[in-house]
Amino acid sequence: MFSNDTNKVQSNLPKPPAATGRPGVKATASPRPESSQAGPAASSGFSVIGNDLTILGEKITIISQNKIQVDGHVHGDVHGKQVVISRDGSVTGKVCAEKIDVRGGVTGSIRALTVALHETAKVDGDIVHQTLSISEGAEFDGRVQRTKDKDDLMPVLDAEAVVSQAANGNSEASPFSSYNGDSSLS
C-alpha cells in the first residue's frame, strides 16, 4: 500500500495535458505545493482575507506580490499587484495596486493605474489613478487626481522597501499636498 520508492509515487501523479494546438484547448500545469512556489511559478498566486477575519493594528501593511481579495476587514494598508475588495469587505487605510476593484468599503486613499468603483462601493478618501470608473450607485466622497506618470502609481511590493520607507519617514508623498482644505486622510 505505501512505498518508499519516490519514482513510483511521482509516476502516479497526474501529468499536465499536452498542448494540442486546437483552438479553445488550454494546456495547464499541475498544481505545486505552496512550499515550492518561488520565483516565476508564484506569479499566479491569489490570496484571500476571509469574511470571518478582521486584521487590526497600528501601522500594519499587507503586501501581496499578486492578487489579493479582501472579504473581511482590514485596519491597515493593503498593497498588491491587484486588489479586490468584495461587497462585504472593507479597508481602513491606504490601498495601492496596479488595479483595484472596489465592491465594498474603503476609508482611506486609493492609488492605482486602474480603479473601478462598482455599484456597491462606498469610498471615503482620495483616489490617484490613470483610469477611473465609477458605476451608478457607488458612493464616493473625496478628491480625485489623474496622473500621467504610471511610475508614480506602481505599488511597492517589497516588504524591505516598505519598512525602509517607514523608517526614513518617506511614506508616499501626497499628491494633494497643495490642497488647503480640511483633509483627515494622509
| Number of residues that make up the chain | 186
CA atoms of 170 and 3, how far apart (whole Å): 56
CA atoms of 49 and 55, how far apart (whole Å): 9
Say if residue 99's pLDDT is above 50. Answer: yes
Closest to 111 measured CA to CA, from 155, 76, 65, 74? 155
CA atoms of 49 and 72, how far apart (whole Å): 6
What is the arithmetic mean of pLDDT over 115-119? 98
For residue 139, CA distances in Å to 70, 75, 119 come to 19, 20, 8
CA atoms of 96 and 88, how far apart (whole Å): 19
Q: Where are the domains of the chain?
A: 44-167
Is residue 103 within 8 Å of 85, Cβ to Cβ? Answer: yes
Is residue 126 within 8 Å of 110, Cβ to Cβ? Answer: yes
Alpha helices in 51-181 (DSSP H): 159-167
What is the arithmetic mean of pLDDT over 60-68? 94
Say if residue 183's pLDDT is above 90. Answer: no
Say if residue 80's pLDDT is above 50. Answer: yes
Q: When comparing pLDDT for 132 and 172, which is higher?
A: 132
For residue 61, CA distances in Å to 47, 76, 161, 184 come to 15, 6, 12, 19
* Cell matching residue 33: 505545493
